[in-house]
């Protein structure tokens, strides 16, 4: 196996597009992303509302698309790719996070995997590899479905640098979670680390090429991927090794990848990538790799919601409550999550944190996205415009949207959908 390579660069709005192009080539993306195959840009939407560090940034998506077009990749073979969860509205998310603006500006296809796409049983896709799964055969004894379109496609993951209440950190490996599992993906939470390893095995089997481009212009600490403390960190990373890029990001945040991140250790032990930063070839701005941001992590100051999740999946509430999440009663959990995060935490805690970050150069670039224009050479955005601290949408409109999302969480839950199909005989 070739030595893992991770590119890391410091960046600014004025150079961010050129920096993404350089980072991708430093990490050798053209060696693994074939030009004759369709390429899915797997967008990350961890919250349908804008929250710094939570979801793929528009300049991250813009930088990757521009880099590929400059390097001879046909736009006809590039598409944005989204998954859905019962608590995240991907259509709202791509608008609020301004990702759809980028996709439409470049005239790319925009694929939502749960809308008109065929899904096939994983065992039909990977064959005997299923025998090597660490946990998914136990979680889904009858198997589970994956998108048929993924077979033979390239995939480029677009995560951000942040912490996560289930996996300590989240990045390239976790970004496959929504796209590869069906809507009962929450069944895997008690074995989430093993699940991510199984999903990486699947990716390496079905995709023609796998690559990751991670945005750390904003980085999030705390009970992520939503209720975080966002920081401006001005770095970007790229790698063909999903384990290695997650390991480097974890080290930047101040964690020991092989001790604090079980999913990285398990993948490394199985030869799926390099989790030991000492054995990774680091290229780019090497002084940035020596930083440690000393993040507290997701467990020291958990929110009420994350604390309850831990008690349900790994604590004293596991026996009395977890069973309900595999029955028609499960929508209670979706309603609780949307109500807490969207109607309570976001307006009463999140808004203050967002407004502080919106005064930064990156915050101003986000607020003025579409108005701020790249320079003539396409290197970046020399003028990011004025700050817009009132960008967040609160008040009655936010409350109405929250109520709609609660309704969506119930109506589109797999449990309710299954009962409706049973009643209609389909």
What pLDDT was estimated at residue 392?
55
Give per-10-residue mean pLDDT for the chain (426 aa). Answer: 90 98 98 98 96 97 98 98 88 96 98 93 96 96 94 98 97 94 85 98 98 98 96 98 98 98 98 97 95 95 92 89 81 88 92 90 95 96 84 71 82 66 60
CA distance 413 to 163: 26
Both tokens assigned to 290 = 């020596």
CB of 268 closer than 8 Å to CB of 243:
yes
Assigned token pair, 137: 């055969």
Phi, psi of 372 (to 5 degrees): -65, 130
Residue (of 4, 28, 6, 8) closest to 274 by Cα position: 4
Cβ(322)–Cβ(312) under 8 Å? Answer: yes
Residue of 243, 422, 211, 417 lying closest to 331 (CA atoms): 417
What the chain holds in terms of domains, given with CATH numbers, is: 5-300 (3.40.50)
pTM above threshold 0.85: yes
CA dihedral 313, 318, 324, 330 (to 10 degrees): -30
Cβ neighbours around 386 below 10 Å, total: 10
pLDDT at site 387: 82
Q: Measured on CA atoms in the order 72, 73, 74, 75, is the torsion positive or negative?
A: negative
pLDDT at 178: 83
């Amino acid at each position: 196996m070739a030595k893992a390579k991770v590119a890391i660069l410091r960046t600014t709005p004025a150079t961010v597009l050129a920096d993404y192009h350089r980072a991708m080539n430093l990490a050798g993306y053209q060696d693994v992303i074939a030009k004759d195959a369709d390429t899915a840009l797997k967008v990350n939407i961890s919250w349908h509302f804008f929250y710094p560090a939570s979801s793929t940034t528009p300049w991250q998506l813009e930088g990757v698309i521009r880099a590929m077009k400059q390097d001879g990749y046909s736009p006809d073979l590039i598409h944005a790719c989204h998954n859905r969860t019962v608590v995240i509205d991907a259509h709202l998310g791509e608008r609020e996070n301004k990702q759809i603006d980028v996709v439409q500006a470049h005239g790319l296809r925009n694929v939502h995997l749960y809308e008109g796409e065929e899904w096939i049983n994983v065992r039909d896709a990977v064959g005997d590899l299923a025998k090597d799964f660490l946990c998914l055969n136990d979680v889904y004894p009858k198997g589970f479905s994956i998108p048929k379109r993924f077979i033979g496609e390239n995939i480029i993951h677009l995560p951000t640098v942040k912490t996560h209440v289930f996996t300590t950190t989240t990045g390239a490996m976790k970004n496959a979670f929504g796209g590869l599992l069906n809507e009962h993906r929450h069944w895997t939470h008690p074995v989430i680390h093993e699940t991510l390893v199984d999903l990486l095995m699947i990716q390496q089997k079905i995709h023609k090429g796998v690559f990751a481009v991670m945005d750390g212009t904003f980085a999030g600490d705390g009970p992520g991927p939503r209720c975080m403390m966002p920081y401006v960190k001005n770095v970007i990373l790229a790698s063909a090794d999903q384990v290695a890029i997650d390991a480097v990001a974890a080290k930047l945040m101040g964690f020991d990848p092989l001790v604090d991140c079980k999913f990285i250790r398990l993948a490394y032990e199985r030869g799926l990538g390099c989790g030991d930063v000492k054995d990774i070839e680091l290229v780019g701005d090497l002084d940035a790799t020596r930083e440690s941001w000393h993040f507290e992590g997701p467990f020291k100051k958990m929110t009420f919601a994350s604390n309850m999740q831990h008690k349900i999946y790994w604590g004293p509430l596991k026996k009395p409550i977890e069973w309900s999440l595999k029955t028609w009663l499960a929508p209670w959990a979706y309603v609780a999550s949307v109500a807490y995060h969207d109607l309570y935490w976001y307006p009463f805690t999140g808004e203050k944190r967002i407004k502080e970050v919106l005064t930064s150069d990156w915050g101003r670039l986000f607020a003025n996205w579409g108005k701020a224009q790249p320079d003539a050479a396409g290197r970046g955005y020399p003028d990011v415009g004025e700050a817009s601290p009132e960008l967040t949408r609160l008040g009655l409109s936010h409350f109405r949207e929250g109520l709609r999302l609660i309704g969506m969480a119930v109506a589109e839950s797999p449990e309710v959908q299954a009962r409706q199909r049973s009643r209609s005989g389909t």
